[in-house]
Amino acid sequence: MFQTRRAQFMEKMEGGVAIFKSAPIANRNHDVDYEYRQDSDFYYLTGFEEPESLCLLAPQHPEHQFVMFVRPRDKEKETWTGKRAGTEGAMQEYGAHMAYTLSQLDEMLPKYLDQVDKIYYSLGKDRELDHKILDLVQRYRTSSRTGLSGPYMLIDAREILHEMRLFKKEEDLLFLRQATEISCEGHLEAMKAARGGLYEYEIEALVEYIFRKRGSPRNGYPSIVGSGPNTTTLHYERNTRRMEEGELLLIDAGAEYGYYTGDITRTFPVGRRFSPDQRQIYEVVLRAQLEAIDAVKPGVSFQDVHHRAVEVITEGLVDLGFLKGQVKDLISNEAYRPFFMHRTSHWLGMDVHDVGKYKIQGTWRVLEPGMVLTVEPGIYIAPGMEGIDPKYWNIGVRIEDDVLVTPNGHEVLTAKVPKHVEDVEALRGGA
């Protein structure tokens, strides 16, 4: 899989050399670091999970098209933190044609840059490496008159790589389907267990326990478990409030598996049933989500999906008496934004807000088979919202599914988690 990806990337290069760096180690305090997760681009091409590593792709090199710079073996350090691949492991286990220790980078990198005219590299992830590469390019530019031949162009490697990652192949979908399946299981257990008197963090713990039990090593992003007024905060992550019967609970959580993540949101009553006011809001959001999902198919623009959700949300806000006027004018004036202030969709894959352009030359991108996007409209009525009957305050609803664009339409990867009112209440009836 990784070898195929590297080959495809190098086929898209127009000569030159590509350089990718591993994710940095983030220190938490003193001698304790945060859990390490490899940079998605680096892992996509190498499958290598160790920090302090660098990947070099040189399609025109006669022998070393794939080169790695890694940490050396170190018996003492490995006693504390586990075995390292070292240079031998980089070649034998990960397929590198040649491997060096990272300390050899300054010595060896110029040798691979000799006689090539461009470097594919993404600035902004590693300041020290940025300066090193920029200095090398400048050196070659100013020394060309002396006969020194090397790269004088710097091209953003993401232009190729992120386009590759946008289109999921079968091997990508294998992991993504497992990630969404595990995510579904966590949400289902939470929907069964939530009740008044529990704290949000108890439901968070249950969701993440199910994720781990099903084989997910980590979350795709911090879990959002918001009850009552917290349902109206889009990225509420404190998860510390005690839930009360009769409120809504909004859970936005996704499991990561094989470096791919699910991203699901469900909103449901802490009690057994929605109140009439909650149900009114919920059904508007559900209708918007269903119609937006129905719009997902090849040839439809990314913006069209959002626009359909906006239309239904705005119509619902007018029907509820929250907005007054013609729907078309209200949409044009963005009068809906105090209630629905985010976009309906984003790409999904190795990152929860995955890579890939949304516009091509200023025009919204057209959906194609292999793309995966979320569909997640919402309505949020914060406490004290001016002009809104207080009975609607503290009602926040978002419903989110992960949708694969297929040749003939779409597939909802997260359909296993109920969202229709009758199905949600049936599940909650056993709580």
Angle in degrees, CA 69, 71, 76, rounded to 5: 165
Burial class of residue 246 (count of CB atoms within 10 Å of its CB; 0-12, 13-18, 19+)? middle
Q: Are residues 265 and 128 in the same domain?
A: no
On average, the pLDDT of the chain sits at: 97
20 phi/psi in degrees, rounded to 5: -130, 140
Burial class of residue 266 (count of CB atoms within 10 Å of its CB; 0-12, 13-18, 19+)? buried
% of residues, the chain, pLDDT over 70: 98
Q: Are residues 216 and 198 in the same domain?
A: yes
Q: Are residues 106 and 193 in the same domain?
A: no
Which one of the listed residues 78, 353, 389, 423 is annotated catalytic?
A: 353
CB 157 within 8 A of CB 120: yes
Q: What pLDDT was estimated at residue 430?
A: 65
Instruction: Give the mean pLDDT of 319-343.
Output: 98
Which one of the listed residues 247, 263, 354, 402 is annotated catalytic?
A: 263
Last residue of a domain, one of 112, 144, 164: 164
* Active site annotation includes 106: no
Is the confidence at residue 87, as pLDDT, over 80?
Answer: yes
Is the confidence at residue 147, as pLDDT, over 80?
Answer: no
Instruction: Give the mean pLDDT of 309-337.
Output: 98
Q: Are residues 278 and 422 in the same domain?
A: yes
Q: Are residues 46 and 187 in the same domain?
A: no
The single residue listed with the structure tokens 């209200």 is 330
Q: With the CA atoms of 380, 235, 166 and 188 taken in that order, what torsion angle do they form, in degrees rounded to the nearest 10?
A: -80
Q: Report which residue type is found at 76.
A: E
Instruction: Give the mean pLDDT of 17-37.
Output: 97
Expressed as residue numbers, the domain containing 56 is: 2-164
Is the confidence at residue 149, as pLDDT, over 80?
Answer: no
pLDDT digits 0-9 by tens, 105-117: 999 999 999 889 9
Which one of the listed residues 61, 84, 187, 346 is annotated catalytic?
A: 346
Q: Are residues 235 and 342 in the same domain?
A: yes
Which of the four pLDDT bands, split at 50, 70 and 90, describes residue 148? low
Q: Are residues 372 and 404 in the same domain?
A: yes
Which one of the listed residues 61, 158, 398, 410 is annotated catalytic?
A: 398
Q: Are residues 43 and 129 in the same domain?
A: yes
If one counts the domains in the chain, the total is 2
Q: Are residues 42 and 58 in the same domain?
A: yes
Which one of the listed residues 31, 128, 170, 386 is annotated catalytic?
A: 31
Which one of the listed residues 43, 172, 380, 428 is annotated catalytic?
A: 380
Which one of the listed residues 376, 402, 410, 428 is annotated catalytic?
A: 376
* Active site annotation includes 187: no
pTM higher than 0.85: yes
Q: What pLDDT was estimated at residue 141?
A: 78
Which one of the listed residues 131, 141, 235, 337 is annotated catalytic?
A: 235
Q: Are residues 158 and 224 in the same domain?
A: no
Q: What pLDDT was estimated at residue 145?
A: 61
Q: Are residues 307 and 282 in the same domain?
A: yes
Q: What pLDDT was estimated at residue 403?
A: 99
* Active site annotation includes 35: no
% of residues, the chain, pLDDT over 90: 94
* Active site annotation includes 31: yes
Q: What is the CATH number of the domain that holds 423?
A: 3.90.230.10
CA distances from 34 to 108, 201, 294, 342, 415 (A): 31, 21, 41, 30, 34
Last residue of a domain, one of 139, 164, 189: 164
Q: What is the CATH number of the domain that holds 85?
A: 3.40.350.10
Q: What is the DSSP letter of 228?
A: G
Q: Are residues 186 and 198 in the same domain?
A: yes
360 phi/psi in degrees, rounded to 5: -120, 115
Last residue of a domain, one of 164, 186, 203: 164
- Which element (helix H / strand E) includes 182? helix 170-193
Which one of the listed residues 204, 351, 400, 401 is annotated catalytic?
A: 400
Q: What pLDDT was estimated at residue 139?
A: 83
Chain centre distance of CA 208: 17
Is the confidence at residue 431, as pLDDT, over 70?
Answer: no
* Active site annotation includes 282: no
Among 254, 258, 223, CA closest to 238: 223
* Active site annotation includes 420: no
Instruction: Give the mean pLDDT of 127-142.
Output: 89
Is the confidence at residue 82, as pLDDT, over 90?
Answer: yes
* Active site annotation includes 235: yes
pLDDT digits 0-9 by tens, 250-297: 999 999 999 999 999 999 999 999 999 999 999 999 999 999 999 999
